Amino acid sequence: MATQDKYCFERNKKESERLDIQHRVLVRTSGNTLIHPSIPIEEIRSVADIATGTGIWLQDVSKSLDTPQIERYYHGFDISSEQFPENPGAIQFSVQDLTVPFPREHWGRYDLVHVRLLVAALEESDYQATIANVYDILKPGGYLQWEEIDEETYRTKGYPVFNELHRCFDYGLTAEGKCFRASAKVYEESRAAGFVGVERLCYNSHQNPDLRYEIEERLTAIIRTLYAFLLLRSGQVDTAQVASQEAEKLVEEHRRLCAQGNSPPLKLMRVVGRKPLHESLL
C-alpha cells in the first residue's frame, strides 16, 4: 500500500538546502547539543532518525560519535526518498511512514531514536501510534529525542507578527486535525506509552545573539511557505495569489520590526525519554 506524503513543502534541491541550513540553526539554538547531555553517548551503538529528510542530523551525529574502536549503525527513515543523499556512505536510508509499524527487523534495534519537526505533518490522532512504533524499535534502555517548533514559539509576547502566525497556524492545523501543541502532546503520549524520565525542554535562540539574522531569515521563509500554504489550504483565503500577497504583507511587517530592533526568538522544544530496561508486568 502506498504511503501518503504528509510533507507541506516542496521536495527539491532548494528545499533540501533550506533543511540543511535550518538544521544548523536548530543545533546552535540548542547550545550545540545534537544529542541531549542526559543521554550517555558512550552507550550508543545504533541510531535511527525519523523524518530524516536529507539525513543531515544523522551525518553530523555519525561524525561526532564515530571512533575507530567502536562499530556503530545509523539508519534514516522518511515517508519519501526524494531528499535522501546521493552518496550516503555508511548511513542506511529507508522509506517508512512512522504512523505504521516498522518492519520486524528494526524492532528492539536502536539505542537512540531521533524525531524532528512533525507538527505540520502528524494528525493529533497519529501521535499515540507513532510513539508506540518508536517504542518498538528501541532497545530496552534506549532513548527517544523528539524536537519541535510549535505554538511555544508563536505564543511569545511582544512580537506582533507572531499574533497573526499563531492565529493562522492554530486555525489551519486544527482544521486538518493536527496538533499545534506538538511537544506537549509528545510529552503526554510518551509517558502514557511507558517511557520513563520524560522531560520537555525549551531552548530559546535569544540566548545566542549571533543567531539573530538567521532566525529573522528563517521566519521570513516560514511566512512565505507554511503561512501562505495554510492560509490557502484551510480556506482562509480563496486563491494562491491572495495567500502570497498576504504573506508578503506580513514579511514587510516582520522586516520593519526587525529593523527597529524587535527581533523574534525561536523556541526549540525537545522531549527526551527512556524505554525501561525491563518491561512492567502490571
Burial annotation 72-86 (CB, 10 A radius, 16+ → b, else e): eebbbbbbeeebbbe
pLDDT in tens, 84-141: 999 898 999 999 999 999 999 999 999 999 999 999 999 999 999 999 999 999 999 9
pLDDT score at 195:
98
Alpha-carbon gap, residue 4 to 255, rounded angstroms: 36
Contact 203, 254 (CB under 8 A): no
3-state DSSP assignment of residue 274: strand
The owner of cell 504573506 is 247
What class, spelled out in words, does domain 17-275 have in CATH? alpha beta
Contact 79, 3 (CB under 8 A): yes
Residue ranges covered by each domain of the chain: 17-275
Alpha-carbon distances of 246 from 120, 202, 224, 228, 231, rounded to whole Å: 20, 30, 9, 7, 9
Per-residue pLDDT in tens (0 to 9) along the chain, 282 residues? 334 445 455 555 777 777 788 899 999 999 999 999 999 999 999 999 999 999 999 999 999 998 888 999 999 999 999 999 998 989 999 999 999 999 999 999 999 999 999 999 999 999 999 999 999 999 999 999 999 999 999 998 889 999 999 999 999 999 999 999 999 999 999 999 999 999 999 999 999 999 999 999 999 999 999 999 999 999 999 999 999 999 999 999 999 999 999 999 999 999 999 999 987 644
